[in-house]
Structure 1
């Protein structure tokens, strides 16, 4: 097992950032949280761009090795710190199912959830306005995504079986942001039960505390600055 501490460059408002931090917390991986606030432009500073020239979070530095993209970071940490198999199984078929979830997340779920929240809530703070047809398209993708999670992916307690995997962390944090728009999930009972299981995990509670507090304040005061 590796003993060198990991530096995680993260923003609490970033879904993949939270997933990486929860993964470290749940696997007792020593890490240093390096606050990289996107709204303050920390991701555009020269020091950060040396870690990730793309200027995105999360990013990781482990010794002299730098890595970007949340899924790649969690896979690397899983191998480096000898984490439990269920997170990213050694069995080629079980691992392929997790990879399938991670690929689907990027191509479908994230294409619905993230734009719905940004284009209906946050865009106005940046003086941006998007066509209604475009927003409706993202809502359609989101609705299909949630329906597929409910009817296809959630056949057990977690997305890839009876035990949690890295995809659960990614999916949960993506869906969590829907609280910004008070999205109605009542049509998806299995999804809601899964959300409850995820929310009950102490490490999830620890890492999502900041964003949940922010969302509450945001909903209480819709005109508050972000």
Structure 2
């Protein structure tokens, strides 16, 4: 159970097929916090409307409103929720534990974003990105982290943290971007451990627009 509860349901502005948005929705659900989703149609330009840009000037998802707090950037939101409502184990305070989580949050904003996330943006949403480059980044990343996960239960150690929540979605959905997980048994075992967490919810899968390459 969370250490505290919000005075009113947290508003989550997101697209239901956004992996960044799913990170936050998953963590809100794992913490058993009350929230309501404000679904944005990105194709229709909901995220570029003036009222949304007042909340998030980048026009990206997700954004949350928690009372008088408005916050965007999925990793920043995870940190906020962990510190305000979560058990301390979600974001350790000890130097090594905090550094281990931060390293994975950096991966999420780096190789995961430019690898499996970008590859899926091409195949599912038709984003004008270099698909082969994204797949190459994903494979190099997976080669490294599969070896690392051979000796771990979760990405930052033996206990689940927000690093697992941040990393899970785009890695789990990498096949939608044309990146197979079959060569990576330790990644697949880690995904199963995350998905076995109480109240886990998956992001909707899609093959819409998948390329034939």
1:192 pairs, out of 188, 191, 199, with: 188
1:112 pairs, out of 107, 110, 115, with: 115
SS at match of 1:204: coil
Conserved 8 A contact 1:2-1:80: no
Q: TM-score, normalization: structure 1?
A: 0.82
Post-superposition offset of 1:199 = 2.6
Partner of 1:78: 82
Post-superposition offset of 1:165 = 1.0
2:147 pairs, out of 147, 151, 169, with: 151
Partner of 1:49: 53
* Aligned residue runs from structure 1 range 196-211, under 5 A: 196-205=192-201, 207-208=202-203, 211=204
Partner of 1:34: 38
C-alpha RMSD over aligned residues: 2.2
In the alignment, structure 1 segments of 5+ residues that lack a partner are: none
Listed one character per residue, the Cα deviations across residues 44-85 of structure 1 (whole Å, up to 9, x for unaligned) are: 12221121111110001122221110111111111212x112
TM-aligned CA distance change 1:116 to 1:182, over 3 Å = closer
Conserved 8 A contact 1:9-1:58: yes
In the alignment, structure 2 segments of 5+ residues that lack a partner are: none
Post-superposition offset of 1:181 = 3.9
Deviation >4 Å, runs of 4+: none
Partners of 1:154 and 1:99 lie apart in 2 by 20
Partner of 1:14: 18
- The answer to which structure has the higher helix fraction is 1
TM-aligned CA distance change 1:153 to 1:106, over 3 Å = farther
